[in-house]
Amino acid sequence: MESRLNYYGNPFAGKVLKHLVSASKVLMDSTLPHNIRHLVEVRASQVNGCGFCTDMHTKEAIHSGETSVRLNLIAAWREATVFTAAERAALELTEQGTRIADGAGGVTDEAWANAAKHFDEEQLVALMSLIAVINAYNRINIINQQPAGGYVVGQFS
């Protein structure tokens, strides 16, 4: 499989990506726990079917100490016993915030209230923003048919 174009080598795309990367760096410096960030990035990428981002974020999560058991269970988090209440709240918000076009009704008040029990306002802003940013990356990679499997940890650092 080949990508439709060399998006990551395109000068105009570089201008666009500069702003997404900048937003990503701000989110990395937020008080949202790193393990939550990894779970959100992987789950949104799975929901969207973005192989490139799923590859990237699972490898980055492993590099940061995440276990293969937890990573393998992200797609089935509702039935898994390996996630904390805060992680489950973040995964629920991620799914509802990602599936807004599926006719799922958007983010429910219950999902929001549950997340608000576990995260302060800055963390909630970071969580919402992270969901938005990863969805943007997913869409770019899906539209471009960016191949998955060859990501190397730190490749874009």
Distant-in-sequence, close-in-space partners of 106: CB < 8 Å, separation ≥ 6: 96, 100
- Predicted TM-score (pTM) of this structure: 0.95
Number of Cβ within 10 Å of residue 54's Cβ equals 25
Contact 83, 69 (CB under 8 A): no
Confidence label for 28 from pLDDT (cuts 50, 70 and 90) = very high
* C-alpha–C-alpha distance, residues 81 and 94, integer Å: 18
Q: What is the pLDDT of residues 79-131, one digit of tens each?
A: 999 999 999 999 999 999 999 877 677 899 999 999 999 999 999 999 999 99
Q: Answer yes or no: is pLDDT of 1 > 70.
A: yes
Q: What is the distance between the terminal CA atoms of the chain, rounded to a whole angstrom?
A: 25
User: Can you give the pLDDT at residue 103?
Assistant: 67
Q: What is the pLDDT of residues 63-85, one digit of tens each?
A: 999 999 999 999 999 999 999 99
